[in-house]
Structure 1
Amino acid sequence: MIPTSLDYGPLFSWLEESELHQWGQDLPELVAKQLRRERWGDMPEWEETMRRLPEIDPLFTDFSNGVKIGDISLMDKGRRLALQATLMGLHPWRKGPYNLFGMHLDTEWRSDWKWDRVLPHLAPLKGRTILDVGCGNGYHCWRMLGADAERVIGIDPSAKFVFQFYAIKRFAGNRLPIDVLPLGIEHMPEKMAAFDTVFSMGILYHRRSPMDHLRELRQLLKPGGQLVLETLVIEGAEDQLLVPQDRYAKMPNVWFIPSPDMLISWMSKNGLKNPRMVDISTTSIEEQRTTDWMKFESLTDFLDPNDPSKTVEGHPAPVRAVFVAEAPY
């Protein structure tokens, strides 16, 4: 059974009437299976958090200038503090920020900064069906909806992130055409060719086979659809590649960090057309940091205290780049 707090009814109904109806037939059982995984021992606490959220008409939403939900006049300071205490049941909050009825949910990442870097390079999202692979709690999905996407579907295998998304959607409106599924890209049908735009941001370096990941992304796109890829890169020529032997910035699951030219070559070899880098930036301690909503270690703890141009392991400090390409017709 899918918890009632995760309302997939509107999505499943839409799928029945769409060109994705065959996928939709298998999806309820797959979602339920993913949520039954034994390692989600905290799920009863997450469900209790959802049960305690107030039912309130927001009167106001804005997804084009951030993720802002609810008129500040609808909650006094006491109710906002109570809402904050309730949402802390889903700590840590990594992607955001969110503004709920005047309450600032200050996440670890300033994901709005990444969106500002990505947005100028997107094919117009108006009327498009979008897939966001590894979307976390769905912050960028909201921004895609704010850019007039017709339907936004995020996938992320972390059930806690899914609950965080639906906590936000509880206030924004359950009928909005946006959802997050507890799936990884490996759960998507092969050669699906169903989405106008596919995003993969902060995922490639976590994949054991980046070439397979690029192939999977291409096969999710409709002919002529746009891929938006954001990932760690290192400085160097087309033959430069970092393969951390142990950890990278204290992360154990970083497998490959290519140079921009190497990644463009990989994209071309996977059949993507006109791959190009459109942005590159060094991650700052202002963009990724510990907050009241994410109290664990963050970027400051991952860098060499005597040389912030390096990680604690001695690797180059995080530099992130955005690439775009199109699927062939």
Structure 2
Amino acid sequence: MAGPDAELAQTLRAALAQTCNPETVDDLLAAHSNHLSRHGDFSRWQNHLAGLPPVHRDWHIDGGTLVAGRRVGKAEALIEHLRSFIPWRKGPLRLAGVNIDTEWRSDWKWDRISPHLDLTAKRVLDVGAGNGYFGWRMLDQGAEAVIGCDPTPLFVIQHAVIRHFAGPAANHLLAQRLEDLPQTLADFDAVFSMGVLYHRRRPIDHLTDLRKRLKQGGTLILETLVAPGDAAQLLPTPDRYAGMRNVHGLPTVALLHQWLEQSGFSTVRCVDRTATTIEEQRSTDWMPYHSLAQALDPARPGWTVEGLPAPARTVWLARSVSPPDSAC
């Protein structure tokens, strides 16, 4: 994979043909390729990608598991290649018959979100998409095309691995942050931001950028951590939170509601609030590092090792009422 593969380029151009000019798409692909190629493990990943066996390419969802590809040949070499892309965080996945027990039971999160959605024939932007698992769930729920972005090279490579087995479906992933995408990449019917907001130093700027990517009347689906309490307050997280770096404070539900309205959204609804458990996020053979269990205080149920309330995640739906500043 010397750069963005030809299949990604072809399908991405088709997905954006009606909204973005060819130069914009070429710039996106060039930035994607440059970002990946600078990573120190890129050559090793390329070798393992090239070593993936030929398969019958297809995909479907089976009880929450993304099932992609039917294996040709023995499993041992395939497992060795797939393990070279550890840690696998979002799933569950079954690639050419190999079950990948990911850190997150992302299907549980999707089950909390999906009853509130109608993605039929919708164009979707998935911000902080990880390896793209949720993009496949969006396509399965009727989306026309999903454009994802994530700055973590390993996750983007994992997405390329999944596409090797799944085939050229309309689930695309660019190796970039949202703020690095051109402002003209907009006019989406729905925008997802899941597990991103608390990593932003200026959360209202992030929410405003999300709103600008939507067509007027489009839907934001926001999934993020919140702090306990009824007042509109921000819980400081000065060092780490639940073992995570770069968590810049947690808002209460009331404060987050205010932020969404200040950012140009209406019909703001919190449709789910769920405490994260060690059954939903955990270490596995495919993610053999510290996970949520090591981030919680064993002597104080409901608290993290930093002495802060344990993670609780919310799902929000909101409508864009302010038109984007520009369009393709």
Deviation larger for 313-322 or 180-189: 180-189
- The match for 1:119 among 109, 114, 117 is 114
| Secondary structure in 2 matching 1:310 | coil
- TM-superposed deviation, 1:306: 0.8
CA displacement at 1:26 relative to structure 2: 2.2
Q: Residue 145 of structure 1: CA displacement?
A: 0.9
Q: How far apart are residue 5 of structure 1 and its match?
A: 5.2
Query: In 1, Cα distance between the equivalents of 2:136 and 2:105?
Result: 14
Partner residue, 1:27? 28
User: Among the aligned pairs, what percent are the same residue?
Assistant: 44
The C-alpha deviation readout for 1:287-323, integer Å capped at 9, x for no partner, is: 0000000000000000001113100010000000000
What is the deviation of 1:68?
Answer: 1.2
Report Cα offsets for 1:268-287 as digits up to 9, x if no partner.
01110111100000000000
Distance, in Å, in 2 between the alignment partners of 1:6 and 1:283 is 39
- Tell me the distance in 2 between the aligned counterparts of 1:186 and 1:326: 21
Give the gaps of 5 or more residues in structure 2: 324-328
TM-score, normalization by structure 1: 0.92
Q: How far apart are 1:80 and its partner, in Å? A: 2.6
Q: Confirm or deny: 8 A CA contact 1:129 1:152 kept in the other structure.
A: yes
Whether contact under 8 Å (1:5, 1:51) holds in the other structure is: no
Structure 2: how far apart are the matches of 1:55 and 1:88?
A: 18
In structure 2, the partner of 1:84 is: 79
Q: 1:253: which partner in 2? A: 246
Distance across 1 between alignment mates of 2:317 and 2:159: 26
Structure 1 consecutive aligned stretches of length 4 or more whose deviation exceeds 6 Å? none
Question: Are 1:296 and 2:289 counterparts?
Answer: yes
Match of residue 42 from structure 1: 41
AA matched with 1:18: Q
Q: Is 2:227 aligned against 1:234?
A: yes
**Match of 2:141?**
147
* Unaligned 5+ runs, structure 1: none
Deviation of the 1:84 alpha carbon = 1.6
**Aligned mate of 1:221, from 211, 214, 223:** 214
SS in structure 2 of the partner of residue 127 of structure 1: coil
Q: CA deviation at 1:240?
A: 2.1
Letter in 2 for 1:11: T
What pairs with 1:96-135 in structure 2 (closer than 5 Å)?
Answer: 96-122=91-117, 124-135=118-129
Cα displacement (A) at 1:201: 0.3
Tell me the number of residue pairs that the alignment of Structure 1 and Structure 2 aligns.
Answer: 320
- Whether the aligned pair in 1 keeps the contact of 2:20 and 2:184 (CA below 8 Å) is no
CA contact 1:230–1:320 (8 Å) conserved in 2: yes
Q: 1:100 to 1:51 in 2, by over 3 A?
A: same
**C-alpha distance 316-283 of structure 1, shift in aligned 2 (>3 A):** same
Deviations 1:170-195 (A, max 9, x none): 0110x211111101011122364321
What is the aligned-residue RMSD (CA, Å)? 1.8
The secondary structure found in structure 2 opposite 1:308 is: coil
